[in-house]
Amino acid sequence: MSHYAIVVPPLYSHIRAMEALATALSARGHRLTFVLPPDALTPDDARVQLCPGLPEAILQAQRRMQNPANRALWRIANTMAALTDALCHELPALLRTLRVDGVIVDQMEPAGSLVSESLGLPFVSVACALPINREPHLPLSVMPFAWGEDEKSQRLYRGSERVYDLIMRPLYRALDAHSRRLGLTPRDRPDRCLSPLAQIAQWAQSLDFPRYALPESFHYIGALRGPAVGTASALPEGALNVSPLGYASLGTLQKHPYLQLRRMAAACRRAGVNVMITHCNTLSPDEIAGLYRSGATWVEAFIDQPAFIQYADVVVSHAGLNTVLETVAAARPLLMVPMAFDQPAIAARIVHHGLGRRVSRYAASATMARQIGALLDDEGTHARLQAASRALAACGGAARGAEIVEQALSTGRPVLRAADS
C-alpha cells in the first residue's frame, strides 16, 4: 500500500485529530509518517511512525510554537512564519528521503502544501480547527462575531479581516517568498494554499454558518476520533450516584487557567452541580486545593474526556473544537467561556444553532451559574442537541476522512462532494 507524510503543527488537539485519521488510514493498509518532534506522539500502531532525524531547524521552530508565550496575538504570526520557513527549506529533502506517495497537510501549516506541489506530490488539506476557507459574507474563522447579512455585520466582517491580515503579514510574506522560490504561482495566505484534490474538515455543515462558496472538493466529515472505548468505569467513584453531574475544562492551550477554573468551580457550586474539573497538568497542588475549596467535586490532570461527557448533564468549556464536538456528539448542553484562538468563533456558531450558551471570560461565577441553571432546564436546547448529534454522526468521521484521503492521493484527481455516500 501507500506511504503518506503528515504535516501538522505541534499542538495537542491537532495531533490527536491527525492521529485518528492516521489510524483509520493504517487500517486500510497504508503507512503514515508524522513530521513532528519525538516527544509529540507515541504511536501504538506499527504503520504509524514519527519521522526519524528531523532537521534541527524544524525542531527549533516546532519547539517555539509549542511554547504558549509564542502563540500570543502579537507573536503568533512570527511563530507561524518561522515554522513555515523551516519547513519550506527542509521538507523537500525530507520527503524525498521518506519516499512518500502523498502528503496530508493541516490547513494551519501551508508549507506542507507548497512543498508538496513543488515536488509534484498529491496532497490533501485537513481542517483540524474551523475551516479557513474565506467567503465575502462570512466573518473569519478566528473572529467572535455572530452571523448576520445586514450591512452593519458586513462592515464589521470586512474591517476585522483587514486588521487580521495586517497582524498576519509576517506569515504572508514568508508564504509569498517561498512560493516564488519553489517555482509556484505566488500566494500569500494559508487559505490560498489549500488542496485542489480534497479538503476535509472535522466539523459539520449543520454546525457552521451558512456557506455558499465552498469548493466541490470540500467535505465536512465530523469529528476525527478513534473508536470509542470509554465506559462508566472511567468515571470517579460515586459519579453515577450524583445529579446533576458536570464537566469543566479549559483544554490544553491555556497558559494560566487557575482563576478561570476557580470561577467555573464556584459557578457549579452555586448551580448545585457536582463537577469534574480537568487542568491538563497546569496547576500546582495549592491551586488544586483551591479548586476544591471553590466548589469542585473532583479535580484531575486528565481523564477520558469523551467517556465522562457521555454521562454529564452539562459541560462548561473554553469552546475548543475537540471538546465542543465531543459534547455535541453526546448531545449534552454546553456553557462556553471562549478564551482565545478560534474559540470565540466556535462559540458563535454553537449559539447560532441554539446548542449552547456563551459568557465572557470575565463573567462572574453568579452569571455562569444562572446560565448553567438555564441550560439544565432548557428542553428546546436538549431537543436540538439530539438532532445535531445525529447529523454529526452521519458525517462519517475518521473512517470517511480516510476514504477521501485514499481516493485523492491514489488517483491524483479531485474527490467531489457529489460522490459522497
The CATH number of residue 16's host domain is 3.40.50.2000
Is the domain of 403 the same as that of 384?
Answer: no
227 lies in a domain? no
95 lies in a domain? yes
Query: What pLDDT score does 251 carry?
Result: 82
* C-alpha torsion angle, residues 58, 63, 64, 67 (rounded to 10): 160
| pLDDT beyond 70 at 170 | yes
| pLDDT beyond 50 at 161 | yes
In the predicted model, what is the mean pLDDT of residues 386-406?
A: 97
Is the domain of 44 the same as that of 105?
Answer: yes
The b-or-e profile of 114-142 (16+ CB within 10 A means b, else e) is bbbbbeebbbbbbbbbbbbbeeeebbbbb
Alpha helices by DSSP H, listed for 120-234, are 151-167, 169-181
Number of H helices, E strands in the chain: 14, 13
Is the domain of 409 the same as that of 374?
Answer: no
DSSP run (H or E) holding 329:
helix 321-329
Query: What pLDDT score does 69 carry?
Result: 82
| pLDDT beyond 80 at 40 | yes
Is the domain of 50 the same as that of 103?
Answer: yes
User: How far is Cα of residue 84 from the mean position of the Cα atoms in its chain?
Assistant: 19
Is the domain of 171 the same as that of 239?
Answer: no
| Residue 404 pLDDT grade (very low, low, confident, very high; cuts 50, 70, 90) | very high
Residues ≥6 apart with Cβ < 8 Å to 77: 167, 168, 169, 170, 171
CA-based angle 119:216:193, to the nearest 5?
35
> What are the backbone dihedrals phi and psi of residue 233, each rounded to the nearest 5 degrees, phi first?
-65, -15
Cα–Cα distance for residue pair 111/75, rounded to 1 Å: 19
Is the domain of 410 the same as that of 301?
Answer: no
384 lies in a domain? yes
Is the domain of 110 the same as that of 136?
Answer: yes
| pLDDT beyond 60 at 68 | yes
- The proportion of the chain whose per-residue pLDDT surpasses 90, expressed as a percent, equals 82
128 lies in a domain? yes
| pLDDT beyond 50 at 71 | yes
Least confident of 121-125, 181-185, 194-198, 307-311: 307-311
Tracing cell 491524483 back to the chain, one arrives at 412
Is the domain of 378 the same as that of 401?
Answer: no
Query: What pLDDT score does 419 carry?
Result: 42
| Residue 1 pLDDT grade (very low, low, confident, very high; cuts 50, 70, 90) | confident
Least confident of 7-16, 43-52, 137-146, 186-195: 43-52
Range of the domain at 19: 3-222+396-419
185 lies in a domain? yes
Is the domain of 329 the same as that of 401?
Answer: no
| pLDDT beyond 70 at 420 | no
In the predicted model, what is the mean pLDDT of residues 35-45?
A: 87
For residues 197 and 421, the model is more confident at 197
153 lies in a domain? yes
For residues 42 and 335, the model is more confident at 335
Query: What pLDDT score does 392 carry?
Result: 96
Q: How many domains does the chain divide into? A: 2
A 10 A CB-CB count for 407 gives 16
Q: What is the pLDDT of residues 204-258, one digit of tens each?
A: 999 999 999 999 999 999 999 876 655 555 677 777 788 899 999 998 766 668 8
The 3-state DSSP class for residue 219 equals strand
pTM as predicted: 0.92
Cα–Cα distance for residue pair 380/357, rounded to 1 Å: 13
12 lies in a domain? yes
Q: Which one-letter amino acid corresponds to residue 340?
A: A
Is the domain of 199 the same as that of 298?
Answer: no
C-alpha dist (Å) from residue 267 to 252, 261, 273: 21, 10, 9
Cα–Cα distance for residue pair 244/269, rounded to 1 Å: 11
Is the domain of 329 the same as that of 402?
Answer: no
Is the domain of 376 the same as that of 339?
Answer: yes
Q: What is the pLDDT of residues 8-20, one digit of tens each?
A: 999 988 999 999 9
Contact 103, 123 (CB under 8 A): yes
The three cell numbers of residue 252 are 490544553
